[in-house]
Structure 1
Amino acid sequence: MKSKWLVVSSVLAFSMIFSVSIEAQDQGAARGNLGGIVYDPSKATVPGAQVTITGPIGSLSQSTTEQGSFLFSTLIPGSYSIKVQKAGFKIASVKSAEVQINKTTSIEVILETGQVSETVEVSAATVTVDTSTSAVTADISDTFFQNIPVQRGVANLFYLSPGAVDGIQTGSNNPSISGSSGLENSYVADGVSINDPAFGGLGVWARSYGALGSGINQSFVKEVQIKTGGFEPQYGHASGGIVQIVTKSGSTKTHGELGGYFHPLGMQTTPLNADDPQFGRVNLFGRYLGNANYEGDAELGGYAPLGKLRDHLFYFGNFNPSVNNQYVAPAVGSGLSTAYNGQLQRTKTSYDYAGKLTFKINDRQTIESSVFGDPSHTNNVPWASLNASDKTVNSKWDYGTRNWAARYDGTLTSTWLVDGAFTWSWNHFTETPLADVTQIQDESALLQAGTFNAQGFGFLEPYDSNTRSISFDTSKTFHFLGQHTFSIGYNWQFPVYDDSTSYSGGKFALPATNASGGDPGYGTATNPTVAGKMTDASLVLEPISAVSNSSGCTLCPYMADSVGGGSPVQVVLVQSRGRFDGGITKSSGKYHAGYVNDSWALGKRVTVNLGLRWEQQRLVGNQLNKLFNDMWSPRLGFVLDPKGDRKTKFYANYGRYAFILPLDAAIRALSAEDDVLGAYWAPASKTTGCPAGTPAGASCIQTDSSGNPDYANMFKPSSATLLNSASGGIGNAVTVGLSGGEPFQPGIRMEYTDEYVAGFQHEFRGGIVFGVRYIDRRLKRVIEDEGGISVEQFNALANNGGGLNYFIGNPNLKSDIFVNPNEQTFAGVDETQSACAANGG
């Protein structure tokens, strides 16, 4: 697989949006730098000038070096004012410079000759072409996105980055970045990984419904950085894009905000779908009619007015309740359409919250802790289907995330930075049916054509998960044949995922015998273990003609053919699966990563970035575990500034990105569950009042007061109704066993992608930056299911009760892990027209 695309962009570069890259910080970094050079009127550098910056949590000062430069490290993102003074020059005042995460905002200040008592406000030249990195990055701060028309929700900010497009099946919260799947991105907020550990999406991800919520609200966001290519070695755990989010902080001034957002249904037109009834087409899925959104926002930030804490402790809090109404129409002619008079309202309510405390130990060290979450719930309406007989398909959800981060940032010396963090995130999703009724899907085509949900909700899959992580990073700047910034870091993650599966309708005990008193097919070795165990079921009502070994079923009742008007047909309830092991599958993982990097500036014109990342992942299921070890990912970047004026750059980058498997792989491949498979049950029946054509003495299904099948009382699980291997029942035995689990190919390694980037940027007058870049990504090694037989052989097995054995491996042209003992070699066939004519074809 490969994805090639060429992006040409001409961007108006405001100083608050684009600035120069920080030399090294870890993937969860929430700090930036502010640096620059001070000149005199002749453009000679000025050493020994005093530079004072004032920002969100106070002021810092330092003197310029012998080269006239200064650098303030590990700053909280935000706006900073700058004053520069030295004897013989007027004081230069810069009103505002924006500091962003993982960046060094670089400015140039020219002092005017005069008295120190005089102050001149100057417009410092902000460098907008980052000549220190070959990474492809878009930085979007609140000062930008609050002043442009953008949809509500933090995920909508991701699409402002070139290279981010709709992920289609991954939901709007998970864009495809640089051609990768939307589930291959890494999302980090204040150092917390807010990816769902089981599937990889943003926030909560449910197998049945996809992306639900984002884990963080837009009102709490200070800045979003989207990396679409050229990742430095401190970035990993993804082969798509890297999305970093930094939240707002308190400051030396108390500030607050109250706001609201209203988008009622009446402010939009009704969507016109291709299958709208006015076009004469039948829609069996229901229709989307529109939505209405309402939000409130309250935030407050400032300092602790408690003596000496006033200059050290700062706070910020935010509360953002929201209501999202979606209006839909059930399928025309369905029971739901009648029950809701053709339209219903689905409502999601969220109570997003966030808070942050920042403690300034001194001018060089800070400790920060933040919490945020999005507890959410819905009303009890049809979410899974809009085509059902009644409201027993209704359900309500309860879901959301909770996140906590604690972080230390320190500047040990002017050339030595260090930071560390501990984070913990929780995700959960639960679904509660309106009625706890066993699901019956009618595939008989006797009451109405086609398949429909006669009653009940069916499959439920709630889950709980949490992820803990520890990270550490340090960098040191020194000079040897140029300037080097050497960094090293480590990251550990421990995700846990508890997956529950069940069916609506409650539990029932597995009978020890079938309808004729025999073994239903459990087998004498396992019968004592299986009998009496509690299980549940989802059922399908089928004609016995669709079931093998059913021709002699005298216990299968008859059902009237209301569709075709023919003779009554025998039917049976088919249970495809019923779990009897408690229903919870636990999985976990352990992820370790380390990196080293050297950013080497050879003078003003050339910068080389040399890095290496190491990764290891262990997946743990409830039966097995699998280690993926020693994944080495080199990163190499080259930047050329032809004139050394930081106005132009040519750059190239090579990177290898490993894909870390989500825990759903541990559920499917390393875990197992105890199931009853292929059980057949006799529907509740009667021997009087049967439809015309029912053989004498035969039974027919029970009906309700309207004469339709009585689905509500159709399933009565007991020995008397279990038909497997029973005399007069179904000839097939119940299959009982350990289902799940899939072996791994010996020597399997991590999946990875190789990426090549080349580009050019130039800044014109007025701060306009033109850029062009080329990104080439190639999936070099993949992890995928492998089967060792042909499609024809598989179909033959499937039609005769067999199946295909799968392995999980790295398929490629050289793979040879299967042995087919009955391999058949076919001779070549001459299919030319003359040959066919000669053979009568």
Structure 2
Amino acid sequence: MQHQIIRRRGGLRPSALALALALGVGATAPAFAQSTTGDIFGQVPAAAGETVSVTGSTGFTREVPVDAQGRYRIGNLPLGSYTVSLKRDGAVVDSRKDVALKVGGATDVSFQAPATAASAQALDSVTVTANSLPPIDTTAVDSRTVVTAQTLARLPLGRNAEAIALLAPGAVPGSSNLGNGRYRTVSFGGSGASENAYYINGYNSSDPYRNLGGVGLPYGAIDQQEVYTGGYSAKYGRSDGGVISQVGKRGTNDWHFGAQVLWEPKFASSTPGSIYYSNKALPAGYGYADDTLPGSIYRNRQDNTKWTTTYSAYVGGPLIKDKLFFFVAAEAEKSEGTSTASVEANPVANNHYTYNLPKYYAKLDWNINDSNILELTGIHSTDEQRGKYYGYDYDTRTVGGPLGSDADTSKITTKYAIAKYTSYITDDITLTATYGKGWTDDYLQNPTPGLAQQPYIDSPYLQNPALNGGTPITNLNSSSTAQDPNAGSKTHGLRLDLEWQVGDHHLAGGIDNMSYDASNEGSSTSGPGYYLRYRKVAAGNENIPISTSLGVGAPGGDGYYVTQRVFSTVTSMSVDQRAQYLEDRWQVTDRWLLSLGVRNDRFKNFNDKNRPYVNNAAQWAPRLGASWDVYGDSSLKLYANFGRYYLALPNNVAVRGASPSTYTDIYYTYTGIDQLGRPTGLTEISPGAVSSDGEYGQAVDPIAVSARDLKSQYQDEGIIGFDKTLGDGWVTGAKVTLRRLRTAIDDVCDTGLLADKITAQGGDPNSVVIPGCVIFNPGSSNTFSLANVDGSGRTEVKMSKDDWGFSTGAKRAYYALDMYLEHPFDGKWQGRLDYTFSRSYGNTEGQTKSDIGQTDISKTEDWDSAELMRYANGLLSNDRTHQIKAYGAYQLTPEWLVSGNLRLASGAPKSCLGYEDGEEDPDPIGYGSAYHNCNGQPSHPGEKRNPWYRQVDLAVTYRPGYFDGKMAFGLSVFNVINERKPLNSFSTYESAPTTVNNNYDLGQYYQTPRYARLTATYDF
């Protein structure tokens, strides 16, 4: 799978409700990103003997004194509904009921009436709503979006964390070809899809291998989801993109249970359109790889079908009233369907597939006493995909019988066990400790029997038609590679946080440690240990060498040839990440808040021999923020934030980097093809097995494979903005975000230049062992330590940007203007409108390369050699110049609710990667069609775009009064206007010099056509 999974290489603002400083509150400190708690604070008329107590729906109670200025704060409260009571000399003189907390936020509950028993008015029946509380959180200096379970129940959304995250301004979907559909990903602020962090109940649930995506809760178990798009505090790190943090529901003193059935029937789904090859005229001297294909069908999708059924249920309540509570939820989603492969696929078949996504969640809460809480969480999630192939005849557009082969079976099973302990040591000091463990089984195999002698056939349509009778010959093997059946990962993490209120200063400090261990990850060639790649050069090029740099000769004849590829990267590895932080949230005056923090991250990566190959320590990151409550009434806030964010390397970096790997090809011409698609009458035209980056399975020196002075990828970010209330029911605001990548990590594989540098310094390059690729900081000077051949020690070589031949270093810049208008839900309706103008540009997407679907984290094709980076500057894959998002819900009557969700966005940038046609050697480093060059001309990324993305989703919900609102029936229609435009396009221009791939610029993944979801829900 050239230029996709296998790469070629060379030698979170809260939206509304109760978040503010109302009357000059002193030191208030909301919870932080990835928090699972919220705060309550407020102002009361000062009087002697006053206290404020809060009592939750679990019976948990805390009581704090009111200070001399009439201020109070109660922090780190578990999410839920609270009764807040003002007491004088132990007697309740005023109270507020049903105060709901938002994760990571501070809720203002102030009492304005004189606090005397004579004048007090009992307010037990009052429910605090958005209209009665300031909707601007003047204590927040970050950028985040909080979505509650109530909003999730109203809106038509995809039932996963990423779909919820896309409600946040500036968030865009990650490229669909990253992982070929195994992962759902999101890009925040122009960053790569692997640069985010996922959390469940405070524990990291990111993909432990590649950090692409993460595990989410059952949809009905989500209490709140917090999405950080920038500016988060020193408490948290290891992300320079965004943060998706989910908090699960918990049991209370009231019993609750419910169930839901969702059905997405195939009869209510529109069919995707078929795809046809382009018939565009080519420049003089260029020809298509197959000149019979232009204008013909590439992939029939008219007969594709899909239907999905989801069952979910939950139950929660007290095991011991006021003491011990549980909540359990389960969800079983199953999708079935049929999908026809393209004419280029192997096999050309109709796949009858099944997806199973069961999820389970359990939570136990123990109120040991009013000063100590213990929370236990268990999570089990499975993502299973399997299928069976049936024959398909493109001439008649008909499905035949079973082929006897199966699609790959993919099954990712993840389990988490999480414990959190909170101790309110005094009214001003709180200690929290969170410990968790995770287990992931990463299974990817093809279950078809008898594949040992059947090599996968890549591009069978490029077989010589004179030798196959005009019909491609294949076999039952449908996968070029397979994973080890025992592949998987384990994680464990510990964080300790100590918070201390000292006058106007809220001090916090702690540690944040995570460890990741991966076993038998990577992949190897399926079948007999190799697979076959059929190729053809363009007419007129039959006598031109295929690759002079690799010593591969010309095919001659009609230009047909085949390569026998061997690939193996299976290995084990681990990562150790440790951090410490300090933070002071200082209420300088009644209107000014400063957030002053610093974080120190250390990252250490180990290879299969448990030897470190990356060791980054003492990475100090400032996190600074300021908030100005302009009028002192929470009606206008100005805020600013600056932060530095370091990004760790996940375990995947050790694959094909710090551990042994094999990636070779033998080139042949052939005179026949047997019944299994194997060529016969072979004549070798390469000097044996060749590898463009020297991967022959040899042992790797972990000291030499990465620069001794390697710096972690990090990014600087600045945000400035405002929020303003408009009357009682509206909020508006805008912010400007600037992000700049300061240091990147990738690998460079033109290591013959190391030998040149040694020679230039008077040394002998044959006296040291030079790796095929090394990990470095593009654009920076790095020092490499190479082992001496005679075992006498090591030789250090310092390489600059110029030594590698690069004209520039890694660049990625992002700027954005976000504007919004919001009406929080007031019992009748809610709505929000966002517009984002942004640019993401440079020559480095980050750790991934979306335009070719490359998920070799920080080991992409980029920077492998200087030739590949010529003309690489342009718009990056996650750029969307314009985005408009809107969602809302309207309660027509007590029984009927309508809602909708809209997203419009500029299309993703396109790339054109070809040979350096017109040069003496169009493939100077043996990478094939990987240069920023099309038709012999420079081709910058983003010179063209995919079409605009337009999506409108609508829903209606009916709650019959007969069932007291406990039963609901819903209809959601997604993509009402039935847009079916491509999301991304094939970017590899040529299969050989001046030979254009027939599928170039065709859509690779498309917008899901219109479909409907029917729901029936019962909640008690």
Shared fold (TM-score greater than 0.5)?
A: yes
2:711 corresponds to 1:749: yes
- 1:356 is displaced (CA, Å) by 0.6
2:318 corresponds to 1:303: yes
CA contact (8 A) 2:386 2:407 kept: no
Is the alpha carbon distance of 1:386 and 1:117 closer, same or farther for their aligned partners in structure 2, counting shifts above 3 Å? farther
CA contact (8 A) 1:359 1:366 kept: yes
Alignment-mate amino acid for residue 707 of structure 2: Q
Is the alpha carbon distance of 1:382 and 1:48 closer, same or farther for their aligned partners in structure 2, counting shifts above 3 Å? farther
CA contact (8 A) 2:660 2:699 kept: yes
User: What are the equivalent positions in structure 2 for 1:160-309 lying under 5 Å apart?
Assistant: 160-169=167-176, 170=178, 173-203=184-214, 214-273=215-274, 275=276, 281-285=295-299, 287=301, 289-304=304-319, 309=320
**Total equivalences in the alignment:** 698
SS at match of 1:302: strand
For 1:229 and 1:263, the matched residues in 2 are separated by: 36
CA contact (8 A) 2:581 2:597 kept: yes
Alignment-mate amino acid for residue 75 of structure 1: L
Alignment-mate amino acid for residue 442 of structure 2: F
Task: Judge which range, 490-499 or 619-628, deviates more.
Answer: 619-628
For 2:193 and 2:170, the matched residues in 1 are separated by: 12
For 2:636 and 2:92, the matched residues in 1 are separated by: 32
**What's 2:496 paired with?**
472
Q: Looking at CA atoms only, which structure, 1 or 2, has the larger radius of gyration?
A: 1
- 1:366 is displaced (CA, Å) by 0.5
Is the alpha carbon distance of 1:810 and 1:370 closer, same or farther for their aligned partners in structure 2, counting shifts above 3 Å? same
Alignment-mate amino acid for residue 526 of structure 2: S
For 2:684 and 2:743, the matched residues in 1 are separated by: 51
**What's 2:113 paired with?**
111
- 1:153 is displaced (CA, Å) by 2.1
**What's 1:444 paired with?**
463
For 1:396 and 1:732, the matched residues in 2 are separated by: 37
Is the alpha carbon distance of 1:63 and 1:678 closer, same or farther for their aligned partners in structure 2, counting shifts above 3 Å? closer
CA contact (8 A) 1:757 1:774 kept: yes
For 1:766 and 1:681, the matched residues in 2 are separated by: 76
For 2:122 and 2:219, the matched residues in 1 are separated by: 39
- 1:49 is displaced (CA, Å) by 3.9
SS at match of 2:190: coil
**What's 2:779 paired with?**
812
**What's 1:73 paired with?**
75
Instruction: State which of 580, 598, 621 in structure 2 corresponds to 1:633.
Output: 621
SS at match of 1:272: coil
2:50 corresponds to 1:29: no
Alignment-mate amino acid for residue 515 of structure 2: F
Instruction: State which of 514, 524, 527 in structure 2 corresponds to 1:502.
Output: 524
Aligned-pair RMSD on alpha carbons? 4.3
For 1:303 and 1:160, the matched residues in 2 are separated by: 34
Structure 1 unmatched runs, 5+: 1-9, 39-43, 204-213, 507-535, 550-565, 684-699, 703-708, 795-802, 824-841
1:517-576 CA distance string (max 9 Å, x none):
xxxxxxxxxxxxxxxxxxx22234679989989xxxxxxxxxxxxxxxx99x99987432
**What's 2:440 paired with?**
427
Instruction: State which of 92, 95, 104 in structure 1 corresponds to 2:97.
Output: 95
SS at match of 2:150: helix
- 1:407 is displaced (CA, Å) by 0.8
CA contact (8 A) 2:717 2:738 kept: yes
**What's 1:539 paired with?**
532
**What's 2:330 paired with?**
319
For 1:127 and 1:822, the matched residues in 2 are separated by: 58
For 2:224 and 2:360, the matched residues in 1 are separated by: 17
**What's 2:56 paired with?**
55
CA contact (8 A) 1:88 1:115 kept: no
- 1:29 is displaced (CA, Å) by 2.9
CA contact (8 A) 1:654 1:755 kept: yes
CA contact (8 A) 1:82 1:94 kept: yes
For 1:348 and 1:814, the matched residues in 2 are separated by: 48
SS at match of 1:110: coil
- 1:663 is displaced (CA, Å) by 1.4
- 1:192 is displaced (CA, Å) by 1.9
- 1:202 is displaced (CA, Å) by 1.9
Is the alpha carbon distance of 1:118 and 1:676 closer, same or farther for their aligned partners in structure 2, counting shifts above 3 Å? closer
Is the alpha carbon distance of 1:729 and 1:328 closer, same or farther for their aligned partners in structure 2, counting shifts above 3 Å? closer
**What's 2:164 paired with?**
157
Is the alpha carbon distance of 1:371 and 1:119 closer, same or farther for their aligned partners in structure 2, counting shifts above 3 Å? same
For 1:46 and 1:183, the matched residues in 2 are separated by: 54
- 1:86 is displaced (CA, Å) by 4.5
For 1:438 and 1:626, the matched residues in 2 are separated by: 37
CA contact (8 A) 1:601 1:607 kept: yes
Instruction: State which of 350, 353, 357 in structure 1 corresponds to 2:360.
Output: 353
For 1:159 and 1:477, the matched residues in 2 are separated by: 36
2:577 corresponds to 1:577: no
TM-score, normalised to structure 1's length? 0.74
SS at match of 1:184: coil
CA contact (8 A) 2:715 2:740 kept: yes
SS at match of 2:164: helix
CA contact (8 A) 1:48 1:63 kept: no
For 2:46 and 2:276, the matched residues in 1 are separated by: 70
CA contact (8 A) 1:11 1:769 kept: no
2:514 corresponds to 1:485: no
CA contact (8 A) 2:21 2:634 kept: no
SS at match of 1:157: helix
User: What are the equivalent positions in structure 2 for 1:520-539 lying under 5 Å apart?
Assistant: 536-539=529-532
Task: Judge which range, 15-24 or 72-81, deviates more.
Answer: 15-24
CA contact (8 A) 2:657 2:773 kept: no
**What's 1:563 paired with?**
none
For 1:448 and 1:215, the matched residues in 2 are separated by: 51
- 1:350 is displaced (CA, Å) by 1.8
Instruction: State which of 574, 588, 610 in structure 2 corresponds to 1:588.
Output: 574
1:446-497 CA distance string (max 9 Å, x none):
3277988554132113531121111111111112xxx011111111111112
**What's 2:652 paired with?**
664
Alignment-mate amino acid for residue 314 of structure 1: F
SS at match of 2:654: helix
User: What are the equivalent positions in structure 2 for 1:394-433 lying under 5 Å apart?
Assistant: 394-433=407-446
For 1:733 and 1:487, the matched residues in 2 are separated by: 62
Is the alpha carbon distance of 1:596 and 1:543 closer, same or farther for their aligned partners in structure 2, counting shifts above 3 Å? closer
CA contact (8 A) 2:218 2:329 kept: no
- 1:767 is displaced (CA, Å) by 3.9
Task: Judge which range, 422-431 or 437-446, deviates more.
Answer: 437-446
TM-score, normalised to structure 2's length? 0.62
- 1:648 is displaced (CA, Å) by 1.9
- 1:136 is displaced (CA, Å) by 1.1
Alignment-mate amino acid for residue 651 of structure 1: Y
Task: Judge which range, 144-153 or 117-126, deviates more.
Answer: 117-126
For 1:48 and 1:275, the matched residues in 2 are separated by: 80
- 1:144 is displaced (CA, Å) by 2.1
- 1:606 is displaced (CA, Å) by 1.0
- 1:594 is displaced (CA, Å) by 0.8
Structure 2 unmatched runs, 5+: 1-12, 279-292, 547-555, 691-695, 757-769, 783-798, 807-1020
CA contact (8 A) 1:91 1:111 kept: no
- 1:199 is displaced (CA, Å) by 1.4
Alignment-mate amino acid for residue 487 of structure 1: A
- 1:395 is displaced (CA, Å) by 2.3
CA contact (8 A) 2:105 2:137 kept: no
CA contact (8 A) 2:142 2:232 kept: yes
CA contact (8 A) 1:92 1:122 kept: no
CA contact (8 A) 1:17 1:141 kept: no
**What's 2:698 paired with?**
738
CA contact (8 A) 2:437 2:492 kept: yes
- 1:812 is displaced (CA, Å) by 2.4
For 1:75 and 1:218, the matched residues in 2 are separated by: 23
Is the alpha carbon distance of 1:49 and 1:731 closer, same or farther for their aligned partners in structure 2, counting shifts above 3 Å? closer
For 1:595 and 1:386, the matched residues in 2 are separated by: 62
SS at match of 2:236: coil
